């Protein structure tokens, strides 16, 4: 047998290079752990650094999620299948009016079961102390099936509440901001009188201008409009109808408006605020920056640890250890650091999110985001270990004899 073959056998026999050997539980995990905790100050700095990075990323992405959620919340909760809007509407909050007859034109299209008018417009709310707030007035017909706030407290009927000629509904979150202390309080919108007849719970607004729900007639009155203009037509499809086919029919009938599914409109609204304003880009950049800070901290710590252990790693190479054995130690160090740091960081984010749950724009932190951030953090740590791995790749076993 040639020496090459013999060594090949030996390699397999001794777990030199096969994939199975790589997976085998070995002493590397112990070495990795001890390397990490050997210098406790450095270990603490590493964990704090990773946790800090996780907190930054978690809060930023939580805010981004809230941002995305609130930019399309009106669309998401309207319960419509399709939206008819003026041509080129970038976002649900930034619409231009369309003719109210579009509702009836839509109803005439095959496949449309229900078509309802929806009016959305900015208005000025005047508090009792004279301070003015911008609000978003939303008007729907009292008997509407779509576009209603979904979180009206039990016992309250949207239809009943809006049957009063000047009735409006606001969200409890913004009651203080709008100077509202209780039901039946009279307020001013666009210098016209309105009465608070109900509260919703948890309908947040992205623009920080609270939503004010009212009847279509009252909305027109508050806006001082006598025309027949509306902002959207909300459409519910007849059972079994294909949305794409109905959109084609509606577009053919009304070529000067846009017709979109709720999902498309929600995505357009999110994309608009995310990409065309600086807000979304800024949050994404902050998240990437936080990740980068984490990578630098972990890379620096792992590199320092690797440099400290270089003579021992050279010994392992001299003794005949394969390179992957050393890579495994460094990667396991990175994974351990990443796991501990991300658990600490995610725990801290969860606490912060809980404490800030009543803010007007609290970051959202669902379980999938926590798991995702944990995974990204660990991957980030493994990525940061590449600097150390490149150092190990060029390690010269002869060095240990010098």
Contact footprint for another protein (CB under 8 A): 2-4, 6-8, 10-11, 13-17, 21, 24-28, 30-31, 34-35, 38, 309, 311-312, 314-323, 325, 397-398, 400-401
Closest distance between another protein and the C-beta of residue 391, in Å?
16
Longest dimension (CA), the chain: 100
Closest distance between another protein and the C-beta of residue 330, in Å?
14
- Which is closer to another protein, CB of 158 or CB of 325? 325
- Which is closer to another protein, CB of 38 or CB of 225? 38
- Which is closer to another protein, CB of 3 or CB of 154? 3
Closest distance between another protein and the C-beta of residue 322, in Å?
6
- Which is closer to another protein, CB of 41 or CB of 154? 41
- Which is closer to another protein, CB of 125 or CB of 313? 313
Closest distance between another protein and the C-beta of residue 25, in Å?
7
Closest distance between another protein and the C-beta of residue 378, in Å?
22
Closest distance between another protein and the C-beta of residue 332, in Å?
13
- Which is closer to another protein, CB of 26 or CB of 164? 26
Closest distance between another protein and the C-beta of residue 343, in Å?
23
């Amino acid at each position: 047998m040639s020496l090459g073959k013999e060594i090949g056998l030996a390699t397999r026999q001794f777990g030199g290079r096969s994939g199975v050997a790589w997976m085998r539980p070995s002493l590397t995990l112990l070495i990795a752990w001890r390397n990490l905790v050997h210098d406790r100050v450095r270990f603490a700095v590493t964990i704090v650094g990773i946790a800090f990075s996780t907190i930054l990323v978690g809060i930023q992405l939580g805010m981004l999620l809230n941002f995305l959620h609130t930019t399309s919340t009106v669309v998401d909760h309207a319960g419509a299948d399709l939206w008819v809007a003026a041509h080129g509407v970038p976002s649900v909050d930034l619409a231009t009016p369309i003719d109210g007859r579009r509702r009836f034109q839509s109803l005439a299209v095959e496949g449309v079961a229900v078509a309802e008018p929806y009016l959305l417009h900015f208005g000025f709310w005047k508090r009792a102390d004279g301070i003015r707030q911008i609000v978003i007035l939303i008007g729907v017909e009292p008997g509407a099936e779509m576009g209603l706030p979904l979180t009206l407290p039990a016992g309250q009927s949207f239809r009943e509440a809006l049957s009063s000629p000047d009735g409006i509904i606001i969200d409890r979150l913004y009651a203080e901001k709008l100077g509202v202390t209780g039901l039946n309080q009279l307020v001013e919108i666009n210098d016209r009188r309105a009465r608070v007849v109900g509260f919703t719970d948890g309908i947040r607004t992205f623009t920080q201008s609270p939503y004010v729900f009212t009847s279509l007639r009252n909305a027109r009155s508050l806006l001082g409009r006598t025309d027949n203009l509306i902002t959207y037509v909300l459409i519910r499809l007849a059972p079994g109808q294909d949305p794409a086919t109905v959109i084609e029919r509606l577009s053919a009938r009304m070529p000067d408006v846009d017709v979109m599914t709720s999902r498309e409109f929600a995505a357009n609204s999110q994309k608009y605020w995310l990409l065309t304003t600086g807000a979304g880009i800024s949050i994404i950049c902050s998240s990437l920056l936080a990740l980068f800070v984490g990578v630098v901290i972990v890379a620096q710590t792992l590199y320092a640890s690797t440099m400290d252990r270089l003579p021992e790693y050279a010994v392992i190479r001299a003794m005949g250890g394969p390179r992957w054995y050393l890579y495994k130690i460094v990667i396991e160090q990175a994974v351990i650091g990443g796991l501990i740091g991300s658990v600490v960081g995610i725990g801290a984010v969860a606490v912060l999110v809980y404490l800030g749950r009543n803010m007007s724009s609290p970051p959202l932190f669902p379980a999938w985001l926590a798991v995702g951030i944990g995974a990204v953090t660990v991957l980030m740590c493994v990525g940061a270990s590449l600097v150390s791995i490149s150092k190990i790749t060029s390690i010269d076993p002869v060095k240990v004899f010098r």
